[in-house]
A and B are shown apart, each in its own frame.
Chain A
Amino acid sequence: MMKVIMGNHALSYGAKLSRVQVIAAYPITPQTQVVELLSEMCANGELDAKFVKVESEHSAMAASIGASAVGARAFTATSAQGLALMHEMIHWAVGARTPIVLGNINRAMGPPWSIWTEQNDSLSERDTGIMQVYCESNQEVQDTVIQSFRVSEKLLLPCMVVLDAFYLSHTYEPVDIPEQSLVDEYLPAFNPPYRLDPDDPHTFGSLTDSKWYYELRYKIEVAMNKARDEWKKANEEFENLFDRGYGLVEDYKCEDADLILITSGTITGTARIAVDILREKGKKVGLLKIRVFRPFPIDEVRDVLGGAKKVACIDRNISFGHSGIFFAEVKSALYNNSNRPPIWGYIAGLGGRDVTPETVMEIVKRTEESDTPEELIWIGLKKG
C-alpha cells in the first residue's frame, strides 16, 4: 500500500511491520512522532506490544536491554541530547549482545540549543559497537528498520537507523508499506540463543576479569566483520521479496568519474542533482553515498574510489581538532590501499544549515581548482 508519510512515521511503520514486542521511549524533538504513532498503535490494538513510558533516554535503553535479554524484540528512538544520555546503555546493549533497533534523528548537540540536523550525536556513538545506517529517503528508513532487526538478531548486535532532522523526519514522501505477511516471511520471530530464564539462572554481564573480557571484545569485532556480509545477504533477500534494495554504499555515475563526491543522509539526494547538472556540462563527476557507517564498508569504498583522480567528502559533522568524521574514516580505509586518490574534506550544513545543489557545485569547483588537498574546508562560512 502506498501512503504519504513523514520520515518519523516511516520509523514507526518499520517497527510495527517488524512486530516489535517492547517499545520503551522518551519524547524529544524531532523524534516525538516516532513513538507517538507507536503508542497509538499499541493503544488501539493495531500493534501487540508493550509500550513502556520511561523517565529518561537512559531508562529507555535500559528497559529495551531488559526486554531484549528475555527474548523480546525491542525498539526505541531518540535524538541528540537523548542519545547522549543513552550512551552508557548503548555500550551495555552491545556488551550484553542485545539486538535492539534504535531510531536516531540527527539533531545538533547543544549548547547553543538547536533542533536541526547534524550528525555529531550519532557519530559520537561510533566506538560503542552499535551498527549505524544513514538513510536518504522515507522508504529507506522504513525498510532499514526491518532489515536491521534481521541483521541485528543474526549477529546479536544492536543497530541505529539514522535520519536527518526535518529534512527527512518531518518531510512527507510516498512510501510503499508492504503486506505484513511478506515482512513475516522476511523476518522470523526473535529467538536468541541465551536469555534470562528462571529455569536456568545465570547472571548476564556481571564482573568478568581480564581472563575473558578480552575474548568477549574480540567476539564483538568478529560479529561486526560478519555484519558486512549479513547486510548484503539481508538486502539480496529483501530485493527478492520487495523489489527494491540498498547497498552498504551506493555509487552514482562513478565508473568513469574523475572526481567523486562522498555523502551520507539527505545531502545525497541534493548531491545527485548537482552531479546530474555537472554531467550535462560534460564534467566527469560521480557520487558515493555511504549508507552503512558501522561496520565501515572498507572494500566498497576502496573499489569505488580507487579509480578516481580526486575525491571530495562532505561532512555534516566535525571531530574537533581533526576533521570531518566520514572524511577521516574514508582516508583510513584507503591508506593501506595501493590506489589512493587525494581527498578534500568539506564541513557543511552544521546545525541544519541548508546544503543546496549550488553548495555541492561550489565544493566540486574548489576541489577541481585545488592541486593539493587541504585538511578541512568550511564551506559557506560567513567571514568578516
Chain B
Amino acid sequence: MSEAKKIDWKGVDDMPEMAVSLSSMRVNKTASWRNLKPIIDYDKCKPCGICWKFCPEPAILLKEDGSPVIDYDYCKGCGICVEECPRKAITMHREER
C-alpha cells in the first residue's frame, strides 16, 4: 500500500475528471461531525467483541487480547455500541472540542 498522501489541486485544469479523494482515507478523517463520544469503561468490559461486531464504520478495533479500542478519528458517535454492550460498559459523553 502506498503512503497516505494529500493531493492539492490548483484549479479546474489540474483536477482529475472524477471526484477521486483529495487524500486517502488515512488522511481524510471523518469523525469531525461527532457531538457525542462513546467511552469504554474497561473495569466493566469483559471483552466479548459485540461492540466491534456492531460498529458500522468500523471504528472499533480489537487488540490482541480481544479488548476493544475506539478509533476516534473515524467514530461518528452513532451510539450503536452503547446500545449493544451487554455489560453497559460504554457510555456517551458530550464532545469537548
Contact = CB atoms under 8 A, between A and B. Distances in A.
Partners in one complex: yes
Interface stretch (A191-199, A302-310, A338-346, A352-360): A191-199
B1 A205 contact: no
A96 B18 contact: yes
Interface in B11-26: 11-12, 15-22, 24-25
Interface stretch (A35-43, A134-142, A216-224, A292-300): A216-224
A19 interface: no
Q: Secondary structure of the A side of the interface?
A: loop
Interface residues of B, number: 16
A205 B18 contact: yes
A212 interface: yes
Given A204-B21, A215-B11, A199 B16 contact: no
B20 A212 contact: no
Interface string B16-41: 11111110110010000000000000
A203 interface: yes
B19 A205 contact: yes
A159 interface: no
A161 B20 CA distance: 27
A97 B25 CA distance: 21
Interface in A89-114: 95-97
Contacts of A223: 17
- Considering the complex of A and B, which 3 residue pairs feature the smallest CB-CB distances, nearest first? A97-B18, A203-B21, A215-B12
Given A97-B17, A156-B18, A203-B21, 17 more contacts: A95-B19, A96-B18, A96-B19, A193-B17, A194-B17, A194-B18, A194-B20, A201-B25, A203-B24, A204-B21, A205-B18, A206-B19, A206-B28, A212-B9, A212-B15, A216-B18, A219-B17
Interface of A: 95-97, 156, 193-194, 198-206, 208, 212, 215-216, 218-219, 223
